[in-house]
Chains A and B, each alone.
Chain A
Amino acid sequence: MSYRFLDHATDAIIEVTAKDLKEAFSVTADAVINLTLDQDKVEEKDQKEFSANGKDLRYLLFSWLEEITFVLITQGFAIKRVEFDIEKKEGYKIIAKAYGEPLDLHKHNFKVEIKAPTFYEMKIKQDEGVFMKFLLDL
């Protein structure tokens, strides 16, 4: 499992590879958190619950990216790790719990505010593993 940032002048393009869907979403969360701050400087002192949902995997990924950004930026909660489950009924739904502490810009080395996720260049492939690619507007 891994993620990598592709070169882009103004936005962030991220590619994720994982063995399954849950791992892919977990890696995605780490990528977004590390794009925003230094995840390893966050201590687990508090927790926040949040959820994401979508009619298909693309919408689920978009919602997931939005919610993590919301917790990080709007709620000012630095995330150390996320626990979650993916449910599939009519669509997809993720119930998640983030562990971390209130954001401290200096302590956590806040880097950049993610403006919004986009559907532009978004790709999700499920073969033997899962490949996801998405662009974040910075």
Chain B
Amino acid sequence: MYTRLTVIAVFLLFTLMMVPAYASVTSMSLEKNFYTTNESFKFIGTQDGKDIVFIIIRNVGGNFEGMLSDPRQIQGEFDAIPRPVSDYFKNNGIYNATAFTDDEKEEDGFTIKLEFDGYKLFEVPDAVLQLNVITDKTVEVDKTITFTVSITDSSIENAVFSLQNNSTGATIDPSSGQFVWTPSKSYGNTQDQKYYFDIIVTHGAQEDKKNFIITVMQAYVEPEEPEPTPEPEPEELEIPAPFVDESKDPQGYVDRYNSEASYKKWFDDTYPEYDSIYEAVGLEEPKIKEKKFGICGPGTKLVDDICTIIQKPIVKPWWQFW
């Protein structure tokens, strides 16, 4: 047992002695998402030591385009001296920027891709930033809906989530992507109400957007209007009226109506739906010739309801008597 432990210890000691303890660059990026031609660009990054860091920029053909460095030797990080974009990038295209410590060789360094489009310099991402699909949701008023949005490539770190054009009070955690919304009563309605959301994720110069709908379920019941009472269909008059004995002469009922006040009252009170006793017994009501009213003009008189010219006797002149 002791022999085995001794062998292992000697092996570990030998390994430690043989492996050189040098610093290396562990990450690098542009400090800003992009730089325009009239700006100075700057690399920042980390190292696992405290060494001078050099950054060499080459075009895709491998030709040297420029060099930068951070001579400050700060533990764990580096921060290259800013240089004008226009000094280094004259042709559109892709460039490789390799950072390495004074202990390393360039080929052992940390490389990122840059693109210069003639106006802007930016980092070419290794991975494509894309949000996973966000399904539409439903929620009730005053209830909290929460879920976490995510990106398709989980290896992308430090993606930033945000909500665009959001006036609902919903929030999203910029780093975790957790969405939270509690729709207040004002977001409810008498029917299901749809609200549209846009979620954006950014990482460096990359951006992706997805939209989804949250339906706030019906919150109130619309007060029902009382249904109008339908007008009763006018009942069809029974002619002759039920009291009429059809085997008798209907004129007898009319005569009795005209001559007996008590019978007339009984009929009018009992059968107001009939316009007259004639209608009730099934006789045609005789037309009453109403007298015309008015005064006939001079030289006329009312004859058979018509103002008629009065014929004056013709008086012969005296000479005709001769």
Interface residues of A (CB under 8 A from B): 70, 73-76, 102-103, 105, 110-113, 115, 138
Residues in B lying within 8 Å of A, measured CB to CB: 54, 56, 64, 66-71, 81, 83, 87-88, 102, 106
Residues of B within 8 A of A111 (CB): 71
* A38 nearest CB across to chain B (Å): 14
**B175 to nearest A CB, angstroms?**
34
Report the separation of the CA atoms of residues A32 and B161 in the bound assembly, to the nearest whole angstrom: 48
Cα(A78)–Cα(B87), bound, Å: 17
Contact B64 A76 (CB under 8 A): yes
Q: Which residue of A lies closest to B64 (CB)?
A: A76
A-B contact count (CB 8 A): 36
Within the complex, the shortest CB–CB distance from A70 to chain B, in Å, comes to: 7
* Sample of 29 A–B contacts (CB below 8 Å): A70-B87, A73-B67, A73-B68, A73-B69, A73-B83, A74-B66, A74-B67, A74-B83, A74-B87, A74-B88, A75-B64, A75-B66, A76-B56, A76-B66, A76-B67, A102-B64, A103-B64, A103-B67, A105-B54, A105-B102, A105-B106, A110-B54, A110-B69, A111-B71, A112-B69, A113-B67, A113-B68, A115-B81, A138-B71
Where chain A touches its partner, the secondary structure class is loop
- Write the nearest CB–CB distance from B116 to chain A, whole angstroms: 15
**Contacting residues, chain B, for A73 (C-beta < 8 A):** 66-69, 83
CA distance A75 to B56 in the complex (A): 10
How far is the CB of A69 from the nearest CB of chain B, in Å?
10
CA distance A103 to B87 in the complex (A): 17
A105 to B103, CA, bound (A): 11
Rounded to whole Å, the gap between the CB of A112 and the closest CB of chain B is 5
Within the assembled complex, what's the spacing in Å between the Cα atoms of A105 and B99?
13
- B81 adjacent to A113 (CB under 8 Å): yes
Closest chain A residue to B88 by CB distance? A74
User: Using Cβ atoms and an 8 Å threshold, which residues of chain A touch B70?
Assistant: 113
Across the A-B interface, the 7 shortest Cβ-Cβ residue pairs: A113-B69, A112-B71, A74-B66, A76-B67, A115-B81, A76-B64, A74-B87
Expressed in whole angstroms, the Cα–Cα distance for A37 and B198 within the complex equals 55
CA distance A74 to B260 in the complex (A): 133
A112 and B83 CA atoms in complex are apart in Å by 15
The chain A residue with its CB closest to the CB of B67 is A76
